[in-house]
Amino acid sequence: MSTAAAEAPADAPKPKGNLKKLLLIALAAVVVLGGAGAGVMIFLKKKQAAAEQAGEAVEESEPGQRRDPKVLPVFVPMEPFTVNLADKNADRFAQVTVSLEVTDDKVASQLKAFMPAVRGAMLMTLTARTAEELIDPQGKVYLSYELHVAALRAIGASTKGLVPPAPAVTAAAAAAAAAAASAASAAASAAPAVAKPAPPKPAQRADAEPLPIVAVHFSNFIIQ
């Protein structure tokens, strides 16, 4: 037998241990990535559900009709109002700039024909308020609702489905209400206990046709 043939190494078997380790590492990586992906999906779904619930709560709490976020709003700007307010102890006036949000361009075009009537109705509404009522933020919210009603009635539209917000409460009215509540509490403690009537349910938005004027927005509000 030749020396070259004797020294020729036999074919060594391929190592299997390293291959198994690589397969285990790859499998572990897939499991980890899959678990992380599932965790991310669960987190996103929970976040989306919470956002949807919050959106529904806001929609239910806001007065008026629901809006379609896919439809772009149409605004009709009005000339600024400068009016004397109803204060008796001092001369107070307000400078207010209003824009009417309407359903579409057709309503915006038709509204121009009714603009004198709309301005007149809104002017009478503004002059009936006092400075104290309008300084409070809630007073401005209620004024927006009153102007909305006045504008709808001026064009002959129905106000069905327009739910009013809580009316503004002045400092004097709040003090009188607190005094009345205190007196009523004292009288109730002295009188025998009786069953109290159930409180009225909050007003719900009625199903109605879309309002041609969607909302009234203030772009300027100065009280002097």
Give the tens place of pLDDT for each residue, 199-211: 544 444 445 578 9
Q: How far apart are the first and last CA of the chain?
A: 120
For the chain, the average pLDDT equals 74
Nearest to 65 by CA among 162, 132, 183: 162
State which H helix or E strand residue 11 sits in: none
> Does 30 or 217 have the greater pLDDT score?
217
Instruction: Return d(Cα 162, Cα 126) in angstroms, integer.
Output: 19
Residues with Cβ within 8 Å of residue 171, at least 6 apart in sequence: 132
What's the CATH class of domain 71-161+210-224?
Answer: alpha beta
**Which pLDDT tens digit goes with each residue over 81-118?**
999 999 999 999 999 999 999 999 999 999 999 999 99
Strands (E), 42-80: 74-77
Q: At what angle do helices 115-127 and 137-154 cross, to 10 degrees?
A: 150
Which pLDDT value is given to residue 63? 45
Which pLDDT value is given to residue 84? 95
**Residue 60's pLDDT band (boundaries 50, 70, 90)?**
very low
**Residue 161's pLDDT band (boundaries 50, 70, 90)?**
confident
> Does 23 or 131 have the greater pLDDT score?
131
Look at residue 193 and tell me whether its pLDDT is greater than 60: no
